Amino acid sequence: MSRPRALENIRVVDFSWVRAGPWATRWLGALGAEIIKIEWPENERGRLPSTTTPHSLEVNLNTSGNFNDTNVNKKSLSLNVRSAKGLKIVKRLIAISDIVIENFSSRVLQKWGLGYQELCKVKPDIVYVSMSGYGHTGRHHHYTTFGPVAQAVSGLTYISGLPDKPPAGWGWSYMDDTGGMYGAMSALTGLYHRNMTGRGQHIDLSQMVASVPLNGPALLDFTVNGRGSRRAGYPPGNRAHWPGTPLVNNYRGPTVAPHNAYRTHPGEYNDWCVIVCHSDEEWQRLVQVMGGPAWASSPKFATAIGRLQHQQELDEQIEAWSMTLGKYELTQRCQAAGVRALPVQSAEDRVEHDPQLRHREMYLAMEQAALGLHKVQNAPFKLSETPASNHLPSPLIGQHTREIVESLLGFSHEELRVGFADGTFWPTNRKRFPYMEEMLQ
Amino acid sequence: MSEAQPLPGPLAGLRILELADETGQFCGKLLGDLGADVVKIEPPGGERNRHVGPFLDDIPHPERSLSFWYYNTSKRGITLSLETADGRRLFRRLAATSDVILETFPPGFPASLGLDYDSLSLQNPRVIMCSLTPFGQTGPWRDYLSSDLLHMAAGGEMASTGYDQADAPNAPPIAPGGGNAWHMGGHFACMAIMAALVYRTVAGQGQYIDTSIHEACALTTEAAIANYIYRGEVVRRQTGRHHAAGPTPRTQFQAKDGTYVCALVGGRLNPKYIGELADLLDSYGMAGDLRDPKYKDPAVIAANTSHIIDDLVANFIASLPAEEVYHAAQDRGFTWGVVRAPEALLDDAHLHDRGFWKEVEHPELGRSFVYPGEAAIYNGSPWRISRRAPLIGEHNIEIFGDELGLSRGELSILAENRVI
């Protein structure tokens, strides 16, 4: 018998697209909610264009690898919500759902006639999570974001990089991932509150605003101490402190050395490890792992302040040693001796070489009809009674239209056929996928 | 409830026990600011994060750590040594009436004290216990030591972040600062706890949750994993923009005031976009040759990508203050942003409209300070900072005395014996 799921019997109407919104509903789906993704091929963003379609396949709406990973555990209803008939149908769906979630620009749902007040008329205790770039409240609600823009405006880009260089920022849309986290947390806290009080609400999430609290200590250093982040030696690269600049905490834990990335053997692009010593004792352990070299016994490296003052030399010496070892061997030697060290891992490293992720079954293969069998990312939490799992591959566009329209909403098969003919369930001028022809038989 | 009373937060009524160091305190804050009664249990003398700077007025003191202040808002604080029999007895009494226990001890430590989920759930089957640890409770790395930087390395963040060769030759992969590995773990742990709480409203029973920060970080690199799985690609690092299998046009441009602007232009250049870009640049008389009809031809645009981005866009941005570029571009529908230092956010009008900044009182200092606020506005159950971070043992009397009924005499003896 299958285990119960945490969000058993919870239904989510999911208008979200691109990345942040779909990343939120992916997790609600893994936790057991029924996610119904409302899609329309004419203005789809997320399935196309795809730079993650296997080279052996044609790029189409169903062959994006990244879409697949971002949209497991969902069903797809293709529906023209901009038509009067489509709007009526989606309201019928909302009336039997618990959560509505979307990440359009701030006024889109209102323009469709699906603003919060309207949603309440259809389902009085609905939990409505809007995830726009700047939120629905505030003078710049109409501004738009992608992850990198939210990160730039909020201060997250600035805190990453080497001093006296342009910001390195984040090499991906951190705030699409993290915006998705807040979307899911908002939905769950709203749902908990509804279950306890019987009342729904509108949760007005903003991707840009959600980034700001991730800089808490830096902001307090300014509001409390008047110290801004525009200063010598900040950001300090991978170090806790940049040598030759005033000693201050740079918001990444205790100010210590060594605290850096070091090249490892054989010196290829991702052959790096990081090493951190939080105490004199940890430093002495590292000295032992390095074989007790003469340079390391110099009194200038014996104390925390000394290692910070002579960090440049310290790092050069450590790197001369780290270059002699592979990053996994170095990690193992250090950790066996109680020294904090881990390898810099590429995606390939994580999927193929990381023994911990393998043990925890982070990447398990799953069959998707258009893409075939591929590994999909799993949940980082294990719930003892209601485990999260990937139980559905990402949907083909419109794959579940018949199931939802007929079985869930109670329309007849004839009504489904009429809806396809009049452009409600698929644009009349667009070629249907074979599975659509099948569902119309 | 009368009209005058403020609405409670969505998690009002929940009691959460937090036994968390730097790895888990953010998760407790997320829950506390949403209305849960989070009781932070520190070892006698206080938690080690109280010794992490920066400090108020740069005077180091366990009650003056701004990092501790920030990550422990909306919590009450008690001290308790779980390594004493009296401490464990008191903890069991607290656990008997709590909804959630959040702990970040090394795997196996709670069990060694008889305080694991199996024993705590015997007396309170509704309790949800979440262990949030660097690598989870099982596996070859479960006892490895970690730090924020270590997680950013192994999780893949660093492999994606760094510099173009031209900007910083032979630069290392870069770990963004700010303690974001702890944020990533905290977000997922919070999500798992909330799912268990929702389930409990229906099923009536609690459960145990094993959350891994390493896995949370490994999940937070957007399409890097898909790039590898579906195309076998390992991405390259680029200055201030996305990792990519092959080089992409730059997106970061220095404005007249030295501040950078993030202008997403590459990959978007088509005749319509060129027209809009010409309008934006023309409003400052800087459209150059963008009005030339030759740009109706996508092939001509493609051949001139570098001219458009590295000459026209770069010169336009270099001629203006960064904030002006940001607003002028956004007002015309361009998804561009200014690369702000955190302190510039204090002047952001949009954040003020959202009531984002909060005055938090520190009564023992007779001062109040401005704190960052909420990611989302809840219209039916508001987020709020209900109190500043607790002082060491601030609520010992309230909780051990008033709640558990211990006498002042008993409390004194427990303090003398380093139990509280």
**Separation CA A147–CA A179 (nearest Å):** 9
Neighbours of B355 (CB within 10 A): 13
Which of B174, B222, B377 comes nearest A238 by C-beta? B174
Q: What angle do CA B155, B156, B157 make, to 5 degrees?
A: 100
According to DSSP, the residues that pair with B75 across neighbouring strands are B38
DSSP one-letter code for A393:
P
Residue to mutate among B26, B129, B149, with most A CBs inside 10 A, is B149
B336 in Cβ contact with B266 (< 8 Å): no
Q: 152-191 in A: which are within 8 Å (CB) of B?
A: 152-162, 165-174, 176-178, 181-182, 184-186, 188-191
A124 cis-preceded (ω within 30 degrees of 0): no
Give residue for tokens 């990312």. Answer: A377
pLDDT digits (tens, 9 = 90+) for B256-299: 999 999 999 988 999 999 999 999 999 999 999 999 999 999 99
The reply to whether residue B326 touches residue A137, judged by beta carbons under 8 angstroms, is no
Helix (H) or strand (E) holding A126: none
Write the CB contacts of A162 (distance below 8 Å, at least 6 apart in sequence). Answer: A168, A235, A237, B163, B168, B171, B174
Q: How confident is the model at residue A312 (pLDDT cuts 50, 70, 90)?
A: very high
The reply to whether residue B223 touches residue A66, judged by beta carbons under 8 angstroms, is yes
Average pLDDT value for residue range B387-415:
97
Q: 391-430 in A: which are within 8 Å (CB) of B?
A: none
Orientation angle between helical segments B25-33 and B180-203, nearest 10 degrees: 50
DSSP one-letter code for B55:
B
pLDDT digits (tens, 9 = 90+) for A344-381: 999 999 999 999 999 999 999 999 999 999 999 999 99
In angstroms, the separation between the Cα of residue B236 and the nearest Cα of chain A is 9
B78: helix, coil or strand? strand
Residue whose C-alpha is closest to residue B371's, from B351, B390, B391, B353: B351
Residue whose C-alpha is closest to residue B404's, from B390, B420, B391, B383: B420
**Separation CA B107–CA B124 (nearest Å):** 22
Q: How many A-B residue pairs are in contact by the CB < 8 A criterion?
A: 536
B156 in Cβ contact with B224 (< 8 Å): yes
Q: 12-51 in A: which are within 8 Å (CB) of B?
A: 19, 27, 31, 51
Q: Does A80 touch chain B (CB under 8 A)?
A: no
Positive or negative torsion for Cα A306, A310, A313, A319: positive
The reply to whether residue A381 touches residue B192, judged by beta carbons under 8 angstroms, is yes
pLDDT at B3 over 90: no
pLDDT digits (tens, 9 = 90+) for B134-182: 999 999 999 999 999 999 999 999 999 999 999 999 999 999 999 999 9
Torsion of CA A103, A107, A113, A119, to 10 degrees: 50
Residue whose C-alpha is closest to residue B313's, from B287, B331, B293: B287
The reply to whether residue B139 touches residue A148, judged by beta carbons under 8 angstroms, is no
pLDDT digits (tens, 9 = 90+) for A185-207: 999 999 999 999 999 999 999 99
Chain A nearest-CA residue for B334: A144
Q: Does A83 touch chain B (CB under 8 A)?
A: no
**Separation CA B354–CA A139 (nearest Å):** 9
Pairing of strands A272-276, A259-263: antiparallel
**Separation CA A46–CA A68 (nearest Å):** 10
The pLDDT, as a whole number, for residue A49 is 82
Q: Which two three-digit tokens encode residue B91?
A: 């903890």
The pLDDT, as a whole number, for residue A319 is 98
Chain B partners within 8 Å of A159 (Cβ): 176-178, 342
Domains of chain B: residue spans and CATH:
15-220+353-416 (3.40.50.10540), 224-254+260-339 (no CATH)
pLDDT digits (tens, 9 = 90+) for B347-387: 999 999 999 999 999 999 999 999 999 999 999 999 999 99
> Rg of chain A's alpha carbons, rounded to an integer?
26
Average pLDDT value for residue range A292-311:
97
Q: How confident is the model at residue A43 (pLDDT cuts 50, 70, 90)?
A: confident
pLDDT at B102 over 80: yes
The reply to whether residue A374 touches residue B187, judged by beta carbons under 8 angstroms, is no
Helix (H) or strand (E) holding A334: helix A327-336
CA distances (Å), B375 to each of A131, A183, B3, B274, in order? 10, 10, 26, 35
Neighbours of A196 (CB within 10 A): 17
B71 in Cβ contact with A216 (< 8 Å): yes
Which of B175, B224, B336 comes nearest A172 by C-beta? B224
Active site residues per annotation of A: 176
pTM tops 0.95:
yes
In angstroms, the separation between the Cα of residue A227 and the nearest Cα of chain B is 9
Q: What angle do CA B16, B358, A205 make, to 5 degrees?
A: 70
Neighbours of B85 (CB within 10 A): 11
The pLDDT, as a whole number, for residue B1 is 43
The reply to whether residue A172 touches residue B221, judged by beta carbons under 8 angstroms, is yes
B149 in Cβ contact with B223 (< 8 Å): no
**Separation CA A178–CA A305 (nearest Å):** 36
Q: Which two three-digit tokens encode residue A112?
A: 């469709």
- Concatenating the DSSP letter of every residue in A272-333 gives EEEEE--SHHHHHHHHHHTT--GGGGSGGGSSHHHHHHTHHHHHHHHHHHHTTSBHHHHHHH
pLDDT digits (tens, 9 = 90+) for A424-438: 999 999 999 999 999
Mean pLDDT estimate for chain A:
97
**Separation CA B90–CA B419 (nearest Å):** 10
Average pLDDT value for residue range A135-161:
98
The reply to whether residue A52 touches residue B230, judged by beta carbons under 8 angstroms, is yes
The pLDDT, as a whole number, for residue A42 is 93
Q: Does A150 touch chain B (CB under 8 A)?
A: yes
Q: How confident is the model at residue A21 (pLDDT cuts 50, 70, 90)?
A: very high
Q: How confident is the model at residue A235 (pLDDT cuts 50, 70, 90)?
A: very high
Positive or negative torsion for Cα A233, A236, A241, A243: negative
**Separation CA B45–CA B32 (nearest Å):** 23
A80 in Cβ contact with A424 (< 8 Å): yes
Residue whose C-alpha is closest to residue B258's, from B311, B313, B320: B320
The pLDDT, as a whole number, for residue A50 is 87
CA distances (Å), A171 to each of A156, A166, A247, B51, B264, in order? 12, 14, 28, 32, 14
Pairing of strands A127-132, A99-102: parallel
According to DSSP, the residues that pair with B15 across neighbouring strands are B37
Residue to mutate among B100, B148, B253, B339, with most A CBs inside 10 A, is B339
DSSP one-letter code for B69:
H
**Separation CA B27–CA B11 (nearest Å):** 14
Neighbours of A299 (CB within 10 A): 7
Domains of chain A: residue spans and CATH:
11-212+360-440 (3.40.50.10540), 237-263+272-343 (3.30.1540.10)
B76 in Cβ contact with B399 (< 8 Å): yes
CA distances (Å), B194 to each of A30, A97, B26, B412, in order? 14, 19, 15, 37
pLDDT at A1 over 70: no
Which of A192, A215, A274 comes nearest B342 by C-beta? A215
**Separation CA A318–CA A441 (nearest Å):** 69
The reply to whether residue B218 touches residue A380, judged by beta carbons under 8 angstroms, is yes
Torsion of CA A158, A164, A165, A170, to 10 degrees: -30
The reply to whether residue B326 touches residue A220, judged by beta carbons under 8 angstroms, is no
Residue to mutate among A346, A353, A368, A374, with most B CBs inside 10 A, is A346
Query: Which CB contacts under 8 angstroms, 24+ apart, belong to A430-433?
Result: A430/A41, A430/A42, A433/A62, A433/A396, A433/A397, A433/A398
Average pLDDT value for residue range B9-26:
98
Q: What's at A294, amino acid-wise?
A: A
The pLDDT, as a whole number, for residue A2 is 75
Q: Does A293 touch chain B (CB under 8 A)?
A: no
Residue whose C-alpha is closest to residue B16's, from B60, B72, B86, B81: B72
